[in-house]
Chains A and B, each alone.
Chain A
Amino acid sequence: MNYNWDWRVFFKPTGIGNEIYLDWFVTGLGWTIALALSAWVIALLLGSLLGVMRTLPGRYAARIAGAYVELFRNVPLLVQLFVWYFIVPDWLPEPLEDWFKQDLHPAISAFISVTICLGLFTAARVCEQVRTGIQALPRGQAMAAYALGLSLPQVYRQVLLPQAFRIIIPPLTSEFLNVFKNSSVASLIGLMELLAQTKQTAEFTANLFEAFTLATLIYFTLNMGLMLFMRWVEKRVRVPGLIALGGK
């Protein structure tokens, strides 16, 4: 292949202000982390709530949570993003709509749309994991807790959830990493996160392979670090003898 490799490209000036191309990657990484962490907070809180709802004795709560999961899990993420970015703002009352579209910095309005979109999408997946975590516990646990006179919230808070969350740490870790990877959809609505900066560098310099190689390394290192962190968390919270948590 007839390609002209040039790894020094990252240290060349972009021609915009005093930036070099590497600065773009740093800015992009910042946006990616901010996006993923904000979306993860939404996903974890809402997902846990929905997961609990799916296991509640009452019929309606379980149905509502079930419908939520089907809706958000079955529609492609990109379609959801376009809905949140292009359609939902049009439903806002006029002054709010104008403020969101025109007065707010475009990066912030895009950030809000992606955070909500990614948070709600991931919540559906977290919900299913929390549900399976709870259902994986022997049924006797809840019964015994009720028999001891604990109320419903107490059963969940004191008995079921502490064990369920410990069981689902490994699948939750994958969801956590997925949020970082999925945040790259933001590049499609003009938020200059890591992938958008990579594409921009590739277009400006015509050094496409260098730009995408660096982006790959950054995503890989970031996710590797997160995975090790989650493993450490898993070890840290392990209760010996409680559940077989992989590893004796």
Chain B
Amino acid sequence: MKKLLQLSLAVSALFAAGAHAEELSGTLKKIKDSGVIVVGHRDSSIPFSYLDNQKPIGYSMDLANKIVENVKKELKLPNLQVRYNLVTSQTRIPLVQNGTVDFECGSTTNNLERQKQVSFSVGMFEIGTRLLTKKTSGVKDFADLSGKNVVTTAGTTSERLIKSMNAEKKLDMNIISAKDHGESFLMLESGRAVAFMMDDALLAGEMAKAKKPDDWVIVGKPQSYEIYGCMLRKDDPQFKKVIDDALKAAFKSAEMNSIYKRWFESPIPPKGLNMKFPMSQELKELLANPTDKSAEQM
């Protein structure tokens, strides 16, 4: 009896392994059948994923290319056609879900709400939510914002954090939710708000774009840490493995440092701005120990 059980286990294991090696399913099958892979990108998430001369470039796009290379290798399709599809913060989830986009790499935070709709790759970036303010404003930390106008971008985690902080600590701030990071910075620059709360890497990007970058400073203790990941459809273990393997291999390689330096510590297109944003301790740890968990799960 025991032998029979062992035999049947061995046979079923064999079958499972065979099925895994031969049969493609989910997105990989779709890519193999159509000969096209569709990559979702953003248009102004500097320096993660943005357009330069109609071409998507950035830190996340370099990593997306690593993923595409791995898909080509895995499917033995060296001439796989790559199509880029622009997504916005509102369309990115439905376009992944309905199959328009095979995976998205931009500046998408991995969080629990989104995990109900889509699956995330291992994290590729980690940010802290902080404040951008004028050097002369006297704002040093969140407590200094009491009774003042603060801007944040609509639909971001920062918006949720600052609104709940306002309610809990009774800071009596007036919170403005601007439609995108560019407009948030405009509110700050035109004096409608004293500070702009957002992901520190994006704040550095806005600061680099300012007329006088030296007038501005990023301050405050990070109110949260967030991990960016690439998005793919849920319940697609084969495709997820190809994506994760590509990213993990990239994180381990010596090239990772040069990818980081290219986008965060050297002049970047289109205007040759330098973000001057050295790699944080949190990101170093994330790259050394890849995980597909969100920051709140860790």
Q: Give A contacts to B, CB under 8 Å.
A: 1-4, 6, 14-17, 86, 90, 98, 101-102, 105-107, 109-110, 187-190, 192, 196, 199-200, 202-209
Contact = CB atoms under 8 A, between A and B. Distances in A.
Given A200-B177, A203-B90, A3 B117 contact: yes
A16 B157 CA distance: 12
B176 A199 contact: no
Contacts of A189: 178-179, 183
A60 to B, nearest CB: 38
Interface in B111-157: 113-114, 116-117, 149, 151, 154-156
A103 B81 CA distance: 55
B174 A106 contact: yes
A203 B117 contact: no
B99 A188 contact: no
Contact of A206 (B98, B114, B167, B179): B114
A208 B96 CA distance: 13
- Tell me if A's interface is mostly helix, strand, loop or mixed: helix
Interface of B: 89-90, 93-94, 97-99, 113-114, 116-117, 149, 151, 154-156, 159-160, 163-164, 167, 174-179, 183, 186-187, 190-193, 233-235
Contact of B90 (A4, A107, A190, A202): A202
Contact of A204 (B99, B160, B174): B160
Contacts of A17: 164, 167
A16 B167 contact: yes
Given A16-B160, A16-B163, A16-B167, A101 B94 contact: no
Given A15-B164, A196-B177, A199-B155, A102 B149 contact: yes
19 contacts: A2-B97, A3-B94, A6-B116, A101-B190, A101-B192, A106-B175, A106-B176, A187-B154, A188-B183, A190-B177, A190-B187, A196-B154, A196-B177, A203-B155, A204-B113, A207-B113, A207-B117, A208-B90, A208-B94
A190 B186 contact: no
Contacts of A188: 179, 183
B176 A200 contact: no
Interface centre among A1, A17, A86, A203 (most CB of B within 10 A): A203
Contacts of A200: 154-155, 159, 177
B149 A106 contact: yes
Contacts of A202: 90, 155
A176 B205 CA distance: 43
Given A203-B155, A206-B116, 14 more contacts: A1-B98, A3-B94, A3-B97, A6-B116, A17-B164, A86-B190, A90-B190, A101-B191, A102-B149, A189-B178, A190-B154, A203-B156, A204-B160, A206-B117
Q: Which of A3, A102, A190, A192 has the most CB of B within 10 A?
A: A190
A108 to B, nearest CB: 9
Nearest to A110: B176
A204 B192 CA distance: 25
Contacts of B93: 206, 208
B191 A204 contact: no
